[in-house]
Chains A and B, each alone.
Chain A
Amino acid sequence: MRKKPEYRDLFPGALELMILKSLSWRSMHGYALAQRLKEISEDYLRIEEGSLYPALQRMLKVGWLETEMGLSARNRPVRVFKVTEVGKKHLEQEIASVEKMFAGITRVLALAGE
């Protein structure tokens, strides 16, 4: 069986995009985010849990995310990642450009087949 692609085989920024999208739906702590990403990408993608953290740090640094204290499902105090206004704006732009890109790719594929 073919191995599932890893996130680093995706286009650059894909992981960030997925994280932003997930967190914009609901602020989460790291483990919950990992679970969520695993759930939704189970069929397509293998994400090493640990890989999330460098990406999270990167996003904290550029200001797309911020952390606040919250509670986990087990009522433990945890750091919760939350999308900032800048992050929201970036997500919108990224979604737009990704859609454009895929539209482009789809068209090329469609035409190339004829």
Chain B
Amino acid sequence: MSWLRQLFSHRSRYQELSEPIREHLDEKIADLMDRGMTREQAERVARREFGNVAVIEERSREVWLWPRWDSLLGDAKLALRQVSRSPGFVLVACLTLALGIGANTAIFSVVNALLLNNLPYVQPQRIGTLYARTTGSHPSDERRTIDGEQWELLRDNVPSVLSAVSAIHPAGVVLQTASHAQYLHSGRISARYFDVLGIQPALGQNFTAEDDLPNGPRVAILSYSLWRTAFGKDQHVLGQVVLLKGEPYTVVGVLPEHATTPLDADIYTDLQPSRDGEGQTTNFLATVLLRNGFTWQEANSQIERALYQSHQTLEFARSNPDEKRTYYWMPLQQAQTQTLRPQVLALMLASGLVLLIACANLAGLALVRMLRRTGEIATRMALGASRWRIQRQLWIENLLVALIGGSAGIGLGFIALRSLLKMLPEHFLPVQHVPLDGRVLAFTLLLSLLTSILFGMLPAFATNKVDLRSSIGNRSVIGTGRARLRQGLIAGEVALTVLLLAAAGLLIHTLVHLETMSPGFNPNGVITAQASLDNVRYQDPRALQTLFRESLTAMQNIPGVESAAVGLTLPYERALLDGVTLSDGKQAGDQVTTNEVFVTADYFKTLQIPLLAGRVFTNSDGPSTQHVVVINETFARKFFHEANAVGRQLENNNKNAMVVGVVADTVLSSATHLVTDAAPLTDQETIYVPYVQVDDAKLLSMVHTWIQPSWIVRSAHPGDDLTAQMQRALASVDPGLPFSGFYSMSDLQAKTLAMQRIEVALLSTMAGLALLLSAIGIFALVAHMVAERSREIGIRLALGSTVREAMIYAAKSGVIAAAAGLILGLFVCAGVLRVLQSFLYGVQVYDSATFLSVVLTIAAVSALASTIPAFRVARIDPNKALREE
């Protein structure tokens, strides 16, 4: 009875199934013994007449569709055994999956952090920002900035939201304490800003409506880290007066430790939003909290009423009477991630394609493996295992492989994510952390399950076609249908690879174009440093001139320095946009928008910007002499139409100025988001204005609130020593004005092109993975084909075929699959590559050079991947093949 007891011992949960069977057997054995059999005989007969207990039990249980835990465990054990029996397959499969899943895990972490995780505020879903769209314009041509007048309308006429405004970016300012001067980022905000975000100060209070009034009290709220580093967590900091921008500010609050804001500043000061000064043009960013009891729709119609009805009186409408604008709220998260969203989603798509390619490869491999096991499977089916049961077994095996691959993928993904984040420049992502959190892990698990289905589906379905008799009788039957299936899989892989390679190729081409674009000046040997002039002491133009003159003299005295200058904007950076009125030429009287750069006299000499006509500024261009400007080539071509521009007049900042020179174009960051489809680097129309002739204190202080000027030094020996000497030179003139950072021109170029570099690096990685996987797929196809048909090939050789012909015959399947994939891929490219348009600069979507190199790469790689395994043909012994036949 031991076999019975063993059978029924540890299965209490399913007792109700086994019990009747046990009773049946007990009764029967008793009956048989009554008829004179021994117990052994009776047991044997009972067992034989009953049939296979295990199979019957299993069938009984399948009725309930509730596979027993221990039967699953049994399957898993079997799977483990099966899987460990083919370590090569497992290694390749797990590695392939780990690469595919790792790439997806890393990219998804970014998607998760950027697009899925909530912002760290109390009511993140109810925080929004204002957007305006002008009818008839490009959808991406949206502005999110408002002016003082719009701010007042928003504050007073939209009851559904609690609104606040802030500066667009944190501004660089200098904090002076008794002992030292420190460079900080100041977030300039209105009252209610922290109320909107739901942040309560840890000490003190938020700004009040009185603080918002023009000429109201100047107050500051410290971030926790500044409170710690600069004030040593002084509990009595409230009410203290600090010198910020040279002005006294009273500290009224300290933020809690982990508080973050969209501005992410070190210190917050009151913006005092008004219609004058900054508020005259659109320099404010609105942030609002939807009040309880209202919906965004209601808020949208209120904002539309409030702003549109007053639209006619607004400054914008007066200057553009034909355009209609609609206003609406956009959730803050969406607004913050809008520019990155397409890139991130494109990468997610690319990594998804890589995974798909990996799955196609694995499906091919699993199919081969299944065919090798046809005999085993047929035997099991003949022994009474149901198809469902066998399929389940195969699923579990695939799942096991997928889970191993998935775990390895998490590890790889973690490493990839760390290196990706290291690659990103500071403040590149609008979030502080990119965690591998529960959602990422769940995603990876889901991905593993999904891949096991994707690559397990084909072989598992193939069991439906297993023909018992032929499988058991003749194990070398080759299904040409299945070979076709594998070829189809590989063609699909190659097609996706073509797409990824083409996309990566176009982005590489773009990056090369941008990097090799002539910058219009000589970047070698130039070191630059920025300092904030948003300082009450430099609102007087004469003080500014003194600072420039003395600091530049001190820098020119540094050994090795050839020349030094100050410029409001550097090449590769964003410039001040301003309107000038042309007084001359065909367009006389027109107001045009241009980049405007304030410079000191040696700016062109220091950067070595070529002079094309006229002259550059000299020291004789003074505050009281004729106002002059230098224009760049694009400006001259655009507004003076090839005619000699030197000597023309224009009106700038209410002053008449004469064009005295034309210089070469230099690259600038595209100035605004208003310019659609703009490259990160462009030659835009630019005028240069001598700093010495800007005598409007209000204009200077406003410009310096937004843009920090740069000291530029050209030296024979640029290096760390030089930056220290520059620092000393500035400190000798004004110890309270620290530089915010030193950059070489290549640093600045790299900063501007960071996005492109990252895109290229990531997409190229994906494309490289895809290519590798496709090569592996082709290799495996041909290798398998050679192994399977070695007898056939041997006969061909015996019948007089040369080795070369036999090799071509063997390699054909891979080459045909790759060629079909290549053609399919080109069609796919023609269909979908257009979405890349906005990522490309200086390259056409259907760039023939790129496509030619893609085609050549694929052709070379697939030829290689098909030929190498075909060399095995040479080792086939025709005599052996004949003997076997």
Q: Which residues of A contact B (CB under 8 A)?
A: 29-32, 34, 48-51, 53-54, 56-58, 61, 67, 72-74, 76, 78-79, 81
Contact = CB atoms under 8 A, between A and B. Distances in A.
A51 B28 contact: no
B56 A78 contact: no
Interface in B55-83: 56-57, 59-64
Nearest to A60: B63
Given A50-B56, A51-B56, A54-B63, 14 more contacts: A29-B20, A30-B20, A31-B24, A49-B50, A49-B51, A50-B52, A53-B56, A53-B60, A56-B20, A76-B23, A76-B27, A78-B20, A79-B16, A79-B20
Contacts of A50: 21, 50-53, 56
Q: List 3 A-B pairs, minimum CB-CB distance, nearest first.
A: A50-B51, A31-B27, A50-B56
A77 B49 CA distance: 23
Contact of B24 (A34, A73, A74): A34
B23 to A, nearest CB: 5
A61 B27 contact: no
26 contacts: A30-B21, A30-B24, A31-B23, A31-B27, A31-B28, A32-B27, A34-B24, A48-B49, A50-B21, A53-B59, A54-B56, A54-B60, A56-B20, A56-B60, A57-B17, A57-B60, A57-B63, A58-B63, A74-B27, A78-B20, A78-B23, A78-B27, A79-B16, A79-B20, A79-B23, A81-B20
Interface in B26-53: 26-28, 30, 49-53
Chain B interface category by residue count: 20 to 34
Nearest to A54: B59
A73 B28 CA distance: 11
Contacts of A34: 24
B590 interface: no
Contact of A72 (B19, B23, B49): B23
A76 B26 contact: yes
Contacts of B53: 50
A79 B26 CA distance: 13
A47 to B, nearest CB: 10
B49 to A, nearest CB: 6
A50 B56 CA distance: 6
Contacts of A51: 51, 56
A34 B24 CA distance: 9
Contacts of A72: 23, 27
A58 B28 CA distance: 23
A57 B24 contact: no
A88 B25 CA distance: 28
Given A30-B23, A76-B27, A61 B64 contact: yes
Instruction: Report which residue of B19, B53, B59, B61 has the largest number of chain A beta carbons within 10 angstroms of its beta carbon.
Output: B59
Contacts of B64: 57, 61
B3 to A, nearest CB: 15
Nearest to B27: A31
Contacts of A30: 20-21, 23-24
A57 B21 CA distance: 11
A50 B60 CA distance: 10
A51 B55 CA distance: 10
Given A58-B63, A61-B63, A61-B64, A53 B27 contact: no
Contacts of A74: 27, 30
Contact of A48 (B20, B28, B51): B51
Nearest to A77: B23
A67 B59 CA distance: 19
A3 B56 CA distance: 22
Nearest to A33: B24
A78 B26 CA distance: 10
Nearest to A81: B20
A32 B10 CA distance: 27
A30 B27 CA distance: 10
Contacts of A32: 27
A67 B61 CA distance: 16
Contacts of A73: 27
Nearest to B62: A54
A74 B49 CA distance: 21
A44 B466 CA distance: 33
Instruction: Report which residue of A34, A53, A56 has the largest number of chain B beta carbons within 10 angstroms of its beta carbon.
Output: A53
A57 B66 CA distance: 12
A53 B19 CA distance: 11
Given A49-B51, A54-B59, A79 B27 contact: no
Interface in B4-27: 16-17, 19-21, 23-24, 26-27
B13 to A, nearest CB: 15
A22 to B, nearest CB: 15
Contacts of B52: 50
Nearest to A52: B24
Interface in B774-801: none
A4 B27 CA distance: 26
A79 B50 CA distance: 18
A51 B50 CA distance: 8
Nearest to A50: B51
A56 B62 CA distance: 12
A79 B17 contact: no
Contacts of A58: 63
Instruction: Report which residue of B21, B23, B51, B64 has the largest number of chain A beta carbons within 10 angstroms of its beta carbon.
Output: B23
A58 to B, nearest CB: 5
A74 B28 CA distance: 11
B570 to A, nearest CB: 79
Instruction: Report which residue of B20, B27, B60, B62 has the largest number of chain A beta carbons within 10 angstroms of its beta carbon.
Output: B20
A57 B16 CA distance: 10
Contacts of B61: 57
Contacts of B57: 53
Contacts of A79: 16, 19-20, 23
A31 B28 CA distance: 7
Interface string B728-770: 0000000000000000000000000000000000000000000
Instruction: Report which residue of A34, A54, A74, A79 has the largest number of chain B beta carbons within 10 angstroms of its beta carbon.
Output: A54
Contact of A49 (B19, B24, B26): B24
A29 to B, nearest CB: 6
Contacts of A54: 56, 59-60, 62-63
Nearest to A79: B20
A63 B72 CA distance: 27
A64 B24 CA distance: 21
Contact of B23 (A29, A56, A57, A61): A29
Contacts of A31: 23-24, 27-28
A65 B63 CA distance: 14
Nearest to B65: A61
Contacts of B50: 48-50
Contacts of B20: 29-30, 53, 56, 67, 78-79, 81
A72 B57 CA distance: 22
Contacts of B56: 50-51, 53-54
Instruction: Report which residue of A34, A57, A79 has the largest number of chain B beta carbons within 10 angstroms of its beta carbon.
Output: A57
Contacts of B26: 76
Contacts of B16: 67, 79
Nearest to A59: B63
Contacts of B49: 48-49
A79 B59 CA distance: 19
Instruction: Report which residue of B28, B50, B52, B62 has the largest number of chain A beta carbons within 10 angstroms of its beta carbon.
Output: B50
A56 B24 CA distance: 13
Contacts of A81: 20
A51 B53 CA distance: 10
A72 to B, nearest CB: 6
A74 B52 CA distance: 25
B109 to A, nearest CB: 46
B283 to A, nearest CB: 73
Contacts of A48: 49-51
B349 to A, nearest CB: 46
B48 to A, nearest CB: 10
Nearest to A58: B63
B66 to A, nearest CB: 10
A63 to B, nearest CB: 13
